[in-house]
């Protein structure tokens, strides 16, 4: 429930509550100190009067003479309409009283000893709206008589109580008003404070797929929101990047498909312009088949990449003897290499826990590139090695022109080719290295490349030291075997 209350409201309520608490604390403190001051002053006054009356009594010889000093006693209370004074003898008989008031017995019994100075007074409340501060004390008469009388004093504090009640009342009113005012001020302050957030929300609303370049203004945002704005902008950058790549990929795909399909349409149209001998049709069909084969391979590669992207490729991991698998791949390419007078040599050994067919596929993609780029009579080296922390690497190196530095970062991108014009029938689609990268990512490893201009180009597969078994995705996806993969399997696992 509280979670749904707006922050503005919460802040203003908290603000109001805090103000009320602080003001109540201050008010209570001031009230207590005022009350204490009243009590102190009343006590001091009563104590002073006791001393005065004791002084008068010290000059009286016997209790019978006490009433004779009526005049003196009257002076004690004169000008003090709220002060009551009575002098009683030891039997409780009133010798002098300034009014009819009678202090309760209990109070009189607690009277202070004649030799002691009174230090405290008592509150006496005969009825709810009457309140007195009272004091009883014994007093000795002139020394030789050895008699004592009781002084009873009471100060009517009802008026002070009324004053304190008014103060309390004002305090409550002030508190309530301050609370309401604080809530109101808090509301406006909080709303002002929330403005940057609202601005952020407005910007976020404007952002759509076609408007991903919009960014939140990080400079003019309060410190607390800076982190959020920065994270949001970073997310937008990633989204824009992914969207850009997706858009680029779609347009690349359209281009890649357009040329071979145009070729197919063109050739077929030309063939159909007139009747031709059977072997001419055959040649056209063969050429079309070659093109269709290439298209089908490209589509299979793209399917594999798409499935790998969505982690739908199930890894059938096992312990793979790299020496043996590299040998198989090299053997498969032997005829092709011989055709170009290129030698393929294998060296080193190592084992990894990986999907055997995918390892073959990665090495085969690297080797086919290497053979293609090695000058005639050159050599391609397949090397397996283990680095210090137990990770296994496979290196495929070849000589040749090498890969120019500016292309090194991009050769693993889909459809990225360096040396060919798009659509040439004999060239690859530029997906081979993208597949290698995906395969290594599926294995938790990576692929890297180094190239010296007109020197050695080396692609390295880095397998992690320990590979977790199994894989992700469903078996169903893996059963969908694309033709090129099937071709690899048949050829390489035999
Ligand atoms: N060993 C190498 N030496 C020099 N250049 C290379 C080497 N391997 C790859 N390249 C360059 O990197 C580009 C991308 O390679 P990739 O394998 O992805 O595509 P492809 O071989 O052109 O097509 P595909 O592999 O899909 O048939 C190639 O066009 C090539 O120019
Ligand atoms: Mg290739």
Q: Supply the CATH number for residue 146's domain.
A: 3.30.450
Question: Is residue 245 included in any domain, yes or no?
Answer: no
The pTM of the full predicted model, rounded to 2 decimals, is 0.57
Distance 333 CA to ligand 2 centre (A): 13
Going by C-alpha positions, the residue among 387, 386, 384, 391 that lies closest to residue 366 is: 384
In the predicted model, what is the mean pLDDT of residues 69-90?
90
pLDDT tens digits along 242-272: 888 788 888 888 888 898 899 999 999 999 9
Domain assignment of residue 307, yes or no:
no
Output the average pLDDT for the chain.
86
Tens of pLDDT along 189-227?
888 888 888 888 888 888 887 788 888 888 888 888 888
Determine, yes or no, domain membership for 216.
no
CA dist list (Å): 57 to 150, 232, 441: 10, 92, 111
Residues around ligand 2, an ion, CB closer than 5 A: 369, 428, 432
* Pair 435, 301: CB distance under 8 Å: yes
Measure the CA–CA gap between 383 and 338, rounded to whole angstroms: 20
Question: Which residue, 160, 177, 194, sits at the end of a domain?
Answer: 177
Q: What is the CATH number of the domain that holds 346?
A: 3.30.565.10
One domain, residues 173 and 321: no
In the DSSP assignment, the letter for residue 89 is -
Residue 202 maps to a domain: no
What pLDDT does residue 114 have?
85
Cα angle 311, 314, 319 (rounded to 5 degrees) comes to: 125
pLDDT tier at 24 (50, 70, 90 boundaries)? Answer: very high
Q: What is the pLDDT of residues 446-493, one digit of tens each?
A: 999 999 999 999 999 999 876 444 444 333 333 334 434 444 544 444
Task: Please enumerate in sequence order all residues whose Cβ is within 8 A of that of 244, keeping only pairs 6 or more positions apart, or say none.
Answer: none
84 Rama class: left (phi>0) / alpha (psi -120 to 50) / beta = beta
Name the residue of 368, 411, 458 to mutate for ligand 1: max ligand atoms within 8 A of Cβ.
411
Q: Are 332 and 364 in contact (CB under 8 A)?
A: yes
Residue 132 belongs to a domain: yes
| Tokens matching residue 246 | 């997706």
Give the chain's domain count: 2
pLDDT value, residue 435: 95
What mean pLDDT comes out for the span 66-89? 90
> Does some domain include residue 274?
no
Length of the chain: 494
Q: How confident is the model at residue 101 (pLDDT cuts 50, 70, 90)?
A: confident
Q: Average pLDDT, stretch 8-28?
A: 91
- Nearest 5°: phi and psi at 482? -70, 155
Band of the pLDDT at 274, cuts 50, 70, 90? very high
What pLDDT does residue 421 have?
40
Q: To test ligand 1's pocket by mutation, which of 422, 430, 439 has the most ligand atoms within 8 angstroms of CB? A: 430
Task: Quote the domain boundaries for residue 422.
Answer: 312-493
Residue 388 DSSP one-character state: T
**361 falls in which pLDDT band (50, 70, 90)?**
very high
Q: Name residues contacting ligand 1 (CB within 6 A).
A: 365, 369-370, 373, 398, 400, 403, 411, 416-419, 427-434, 457
Torsion over CA: 104, 110, 112, 114 (sign):
positive
DSSP E strand stretches across 302-374: 317-321, 343-347, 351-355
Q: Which atom of ligand 1 is nearest to the CA of 431?
A: 26
Which ligand places an atom closest to the C-alpha of 447? 1
The answer to whether residue 374 is domain-embedded is yes
Confidence of residue 424 (pLDDT cuts 50, 70, 90): very low
| 138 within 8 A of 87, measured Cβ to Cβ | no
- Say if 371 falls within a structural domain: yes
Using alpha carbons, select from 343, 306, 354 the residue that is nearest to residue 470: 354
The DSSP 8-state label assigned to residue 207 in this structure reads -
pLDDT at 247: 83
pLDDT in tens, 294-344: 899 999 998 899 888 877 788 999 999 999 999 999 999 999 999 999 999
The closest residue, in CA terms, to atom 13 on ligand 1 is 417
Classify the C-alpha dihedral 396-398-404-405 as positive or negative.
positive
User: Which atom of ligand 1 is closest in space to residue 420's alpha carbon?
Assistant: 29
Q: Which atom of ligand 1 is nearest to the CA of 427?
A: 22
Give the number of C-alpha atoms closer than 13 A to the C-alpha of residue 113, restricted to the C-beta side: 2
Percent of the chain with pLDDT over 70: 91
Count helices and strands in the chain by DSSP H and E runs: 14, 12
Answer with the one of 121, 143, 177 that is the final residue of a domain.
177
Q: Among 151, 177, 203, which residue terminates a domain?
A: 177
Atom of ligand 1 nearest to the CA of 407: 12
In percent, the amount of the chain with pLDDT more than 90 equals 52
Q: Which residue is closest in CA terms to ligand 1's atom 12?
A: 411
pLDDT, residue 200, reads: 84
């Amino acid at each position: 429930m509280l979670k749904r209350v707006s922050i503005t409201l919460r802040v203003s309520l908290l603000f109001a509550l805090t103000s009320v608490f602080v003001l109540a604390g201050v008010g209570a403190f001031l009230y207590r100190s005022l009350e204490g001051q009243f009590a102190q002053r009343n006590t001091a006054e009563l104590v002073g009067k006791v001393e005065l009356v004791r002084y008068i009594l010290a000059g009286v010889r016997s209790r019978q003479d006490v009433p004779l000093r009526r005049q003196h006693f009257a002076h004690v209370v004169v000008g003090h309409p709220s002060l009551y004074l009575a002098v009683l003898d030891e039997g409780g008989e009133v010798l002098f009283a300034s009014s009819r008031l009678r202090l309760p017995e209990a109070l009189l019994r607690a009277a202070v000893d004649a030799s002691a100075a009174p230090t405290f007074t008592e509150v006496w409340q005969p009825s709810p709206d009457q309140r007195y501060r009272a004091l009883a004390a014994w007093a000795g008469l002139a020394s030789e008589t050895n008699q004592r009388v009781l002084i009873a004093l009471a100060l009517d504090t009802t008026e002070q109580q009324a004053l304190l009640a008014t103060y309390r009342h004002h305090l409550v009113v002030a508190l309530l008003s301050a609370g309401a005012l604080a809530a109101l001020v808090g509301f406006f302050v909080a709303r002002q404070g929330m403005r940057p957030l609202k601005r952020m929300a407005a910007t976020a609303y404007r952002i759509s797929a076609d408007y991903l370049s919009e960014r939140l203004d990080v400079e003019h945002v309060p410190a607390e929101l800076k982190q959020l704005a920065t994270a949001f902008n970073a997310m937008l950058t990633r989204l824009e990047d992914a969207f850009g790549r997706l858009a680029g990929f779609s347009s690349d795909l359209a281009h890649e498909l357009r040329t071979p399909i145009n070729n197919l349409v063109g050739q077929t149209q030309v063939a159909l312009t007139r009747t031709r001998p059977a072997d001419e049709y055959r040649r056209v069909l063969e050429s079309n088949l070659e093109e269709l084969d290439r298209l089908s391979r490209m589509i299979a590669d793209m399917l594999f990449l798409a499935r790998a992207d969505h982690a739908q490729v199930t890894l059938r991991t096992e312990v793979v003897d790299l020496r043996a698998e590299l040998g198989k791949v090299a053997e498969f390419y032997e005829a092709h290499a011989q055709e170009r007078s290129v030698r393929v040599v294998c060296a080193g050994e190592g084992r990894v826990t990986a999907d055997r067919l995918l390892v073959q596929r990665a090495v085969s993609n690297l080797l086919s590139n290497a053979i293609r780029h090695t000058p005639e009579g050159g050599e391609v080296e397949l090397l397996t090695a283990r680095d210090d922390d137990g990770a296994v690497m496979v290196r495929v190196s070849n000589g040749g022109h090498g890969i120019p530095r500016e292309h090194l970062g991009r050769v693993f991108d889909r459809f990225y080719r360096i040396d060919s014009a798009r659509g040439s029938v004999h060239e690859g689609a530029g997906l081979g290295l993208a597949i290698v990268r995906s395969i290594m990512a599926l294995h938790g490893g990576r692929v890297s490349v180094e190239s010296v201009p007109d020197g050695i180009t080396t692609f390295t597969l880095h397998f992690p030291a320990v590979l977790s078994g199994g894989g992700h995705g469903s078996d169903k996806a893996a059963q969908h075997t694309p033709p090129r993969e099937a071709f690899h399997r048949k050829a390489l696992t035999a």
